[in-house]
Amino acid sequence: MKITRYTRMNMKYRAITKKCKAMIIAMVTALAIVMSASVTAAGDAAKGQEVAAGICAGCHNPDGNSIIPANPILAGQHVEYIIKQLMDFKSGEGESPNRESAIMGPMVASLTQQDIENLAAFYAKQKPESAGNVTDNESYLEMGKRLYHGGNIDNGVPACASCHGPSGAGIPPHYPAVAGQHAEYTFIQLNLFNEGKRINDKGVMQKVVTRMNGEEERAVAEYIQSMDAPQ
Ligand code: HEC
Ligand code: HEC
């Protein structure tokens, strides 16, 4: 009797260890798959730099710290966001791209997925520099700061900080860094979202900006430019 009970328990124990082993193997395999995926997804920044120097530097500066107000600063932006935007600028045959741009469309047309990952790796590694405060209207900075951090309950605008972070560093992979970006570029994008001409945000930004008035858009864009670049 004693022996059978022991044997039964032993068998049960063995079955449990077998299950555990299978689980551990499954977990290790899953981890290995995740890790190898991140290795293949990681772009080669040195190769990215070569393409950037050849095609992109004239507009975004060699290190991605664009000095032209309508051209975005790319330095320090999240890898995933850059990849998404470059893919969104691309259009399939006879289809319109997710993000329409007369300038960027032709730039990405001949880039491969690998080029795009390399470029993203390169720009994400560059140290961003804030475009800096250039406002000639100090009241905009006040209004922009209030909106950015607290939103506006009167018209239901949510705080930008809730998605783009209190320091404007964004939250990867979905929420881009915005701090220090050129006010002109930001203002243009807010208008494009507002008019439904930039629609690659799944309606998230559109819901935010359609509640804002033009003065609020301008104010928050100027405040964002005055913020320190994310470190
Ligand atoms: C002729 C100037 C020009 C060149 C060359 C150029 N860009 Fe751009 N880029 C722009 C402009 C302007 C925008 C804003 C596009 C818009 O929304 O209409 C932009 C937007 C972008 C964005 C989106 C950034 C964001 O914050 O959403 C990325 C990423 C980008 N460019 C990467 C590149 C890369 C990589 C190259 C080279 C392969 C390149 N650009 C070449 C002018 C240029
Ligand atoms: C609920 C989340 C959320 C809130 C709140 C939010 N954003 Fe965004 N924002 C996003 C997402 C997501 C994107 C990226 C869309 C994409 O993938 O192209 C984005 C993109 C942007 C861009 C484009 C960045 C670029 O480099 O092109 C700007 C500018 C921006 N947001 C400004 C703001 C401002 C200003 C506010 C506050 C008034 C705000 N956002 C509030 C989620 C949010």
pLDDT in tens, 124-165: 999 999 999 988 899 999 999 999 999 999 999 999 999 999
Tell me which of 20-24, 183-187, 227-231 is least confident: 20-24
b/e burial code for range 118-152 (CB count within 10 A of at least 16 → b): bbbbbbbbbebbbbeeebeeeebbebbbbbbeebb
pLDDT in tens, 78-98: 999 999 999 999 988 888 999
Q: Is the pLDDT of residue 7 over 70?
A: no
- Best residue among 103, 104, 178 to mutate for probing ligand 2's pocket (most ligand atoms within 8 Å of CB) is 178
Model pLDDT, residue 29: 47
Model pLDDT, residue 5: 58
Assess whether the C-beta atom of 227 lies below 6 angstroms from ligand 1.
no
Nearest ligand atom owner, CA of 186: 2
Torsion of CA 28, 30, 31, 37, to 10 degrees: 140
Assess whether the C-beta atom of 59 lies below 6 angstroms from ligand 1.
yes
Assess whether the C-beta atom of 174 lies below 6 angstroms from ligand 2.
yes
pLDDT in tens, 166-201: 999 999 999 999 999 999 999 999 999 999 999 999
